[in-house]
Amino acid sequence: MGLWQIEGYLEATQGVLHINSINTNLLAEQYGTPLFVFSEHKIRQNARDVQAAFQSFGQQSQVFYASKANSNLAVLQVIRDAGLNIEVNSGGEMFKALRAGFRPDQIIFNGVAKTERELQDAIQNQIFCINVDSHAELHRIIEIAQALNQKVPIALRIVPEVETDSYGGIQTGTHETKFGISEHLLAHVYKEALQHPEHLSLIGLHMHIGAQITDPLTYRQGFRTIVRKAAELFEATGHRILHLNIGGGLPVTYLRLEDFGYPETSDTVKNDPTTTNAKKMFRAGGTPLDVAAATVGQIQDEGFIGEIASISTKFSEMLPDLTIILEPGSRIVADTAVLLTRVQTVKYREPTNETWLLVDAGFNTLLDTLAYHWYFPLISAGQAGESHCVPYKIGGPLCDSGDVYDDSEGMGRLPDYRLLPDKIEAGDLLAFLDTGGYTLEQMLEYNGQPRAAAVIIREDGSVQLIRRRETYEDLIRYDVSLPDY
C-alpha cells in the first residue's frame, strides 16, 4: 500500500484511485472536472477525533468548527450532525450556519471589522457569544444592545504575543497582526465591559495564535498566557469568566514529501522546499491529542496551578470548572476532500529538459497555491498503483504566469517538480489531495472560468452533488448591461 493511502478512504484499487470505494474515473466521467470529492465518513471521523482528544483530560470543552475553512451547506450539515458547534466570521457565514440547522446558541461570531448590521443580526439572533476584537467594537456593541434592549454575551480577544513557525500570513497572535485587543488596553476594556451589566455579559477570553501550528509547545505557551491573563483580570476585578477560547490552528499533515519519492536532498532534481519552516509546516505531525495535552492538560500540572495560585488563589481553584473552547477549521475538513483535474496538454521544453502537464484546475480553483504557496499533494488517479518517480512541471489553464504548482516567486516553499508515473498523457486524471479546506470558499471566475463542482460520498456509499458546476450564464449573473447596448 502506498504511503498516501488510508484504508477505507483513499486506496489504489486495481490501479485506480478510489475514495470510500468509489472509482474516481467514474466520478470524473459523470460530473466532469475539476471536481471536488468529499468524504462524509472522514469529516465525521475528524470531528470525533478532536472531541475525544479534548474530553480525554476530563475538562469541560466545546468544539466550534471554524466555518471560514468550508461553509458549503452540505458540509456544515454533516458537521452539525457530528455534534460540533460553529464559529463564524461574517454575517454571511452566520446566515449559512443558521440555514444549515445550527441553533443560535451554537454560534460564536469572530471578526475584526464587524458591521453594524452584522452585530445587530448576531444580537437579535441571541447567539452564544460575540468575540470582541477591539475597544471601538465594544462601544458599538453597547450602543446596539442598548437600542435593542438586549443583553449580549461577549468574550474579549487578547493578543497573547505568541509567534509560530508558520509564515506571516497565517500568524494571528502578535501585535504585528491586526487581531485582538492590545495589552495596554485590555484591563481597561475588561473593566468597561463590566460597567454595563444590563447589556453585556462578559463570559470569557479568546485568543488565536495562527494556522497550521506544528509545535504543540506553541499552544502550551498561548494557553498559559491566556490563563495567566484571566487570573490577573479576575484578581483586579473579582469578575468570574465561564470559558477560555483557545482558537484554532490544529495542524494537518499534508503528506510527507518523502511519501512520493522525494528524498531529503537531491543533486539532480529541485524537489524539496528549501525553507526549514515550510518543511515543518507541511509535514506537521501534531495530533489533536498533542494539542489537548498542551492546553487542557496543563490544568493538571501542579507547577502551573501553583503559578496561577500565586496570581489568584481563588481563580486557580476555579480552573477545573472553566469550559475550554476551541475553533478548529482545517483540522476538520482539509484532508476530507480530493480535487480531480484532467490533463489537457502535455508540453516538452527541450532547452530546460522539462515536461509540463497543463491541467484544467488553476489557482482559480486552488487559490492558496498562489496566495500562500500552499502545498497540495498530487497523484495520478488513473495510475494510482504505479510508481511515482518521474518529475513533471504542473500548470493550470489561466493566462497568468503565476498559475503554476511550484514556487513561481522563488520563496522556497514549494517543490519545483511533482513526481508522477511515466507517460502521463492528455486526458489522464490527476488528484490533488487534502483540498477540503479554504478551497470552495476561495474559488474565482478569473479568465472566465466557471467555478468547479463538488460531490460528497455519503456514509451509505451514495454520491450526492453538493455544489453544481457553474455555467457560462453564471459568469454574467451579477453583471448589469448598459441600457443602450
Q: CATH 2.40.37.10 residue ranges in the chain?
A: 10-39+334-475
Rg (CA), the chain: 24
pTM of the complete model:
0.93
Q: What average pLDDT does the segment 362-375 reach? A: 91
pLDDT digits (tens, 9 = 90+) for 196-226: 999 999 999 998 887 777 777 888 888 899 9
d(CA 465, CA 155): 38
Query: How does pLDDT run across 256-296, given as a tens digit for each residue?
Result: 555 555 554 444 334 444 445 666 666 666 788 988 998 99
- Please, what sign has the CA dihedral across residues 428, 429, 432, 435? positive
pLDDT, residue 280, reads 66
| CA nearest to 221, candidates 250, 252, 246 | 246
Classified as helix, coil or strand, 323 is strand
Measured in whole angstroms, how far is the alpha carbon of residue 58 from the centre of its chain? 26
End-to-end CA distance of the chain: 61
Residues 218-238 have a mean pLDDT of 92
At residue 406 the predicted structure's pLDDT band, cuts being 50, 70 and 90, is: confident
CATH of domain 10-39+334-475: 2.40.37.10
Beta-bridge partner residues of 244: 205, 324
Task: Classify domain 41-331 at the CATH topology level.
Answer: TIM Barrel (3.20.20)
Residue extent(s) of CATH 3.20.20.10 domains in the chain = 41-331
Predicted confidence (pLDDT) per residue in 4-35, tens digit: 888 999 999 999 999 999 999 999 999 999 99
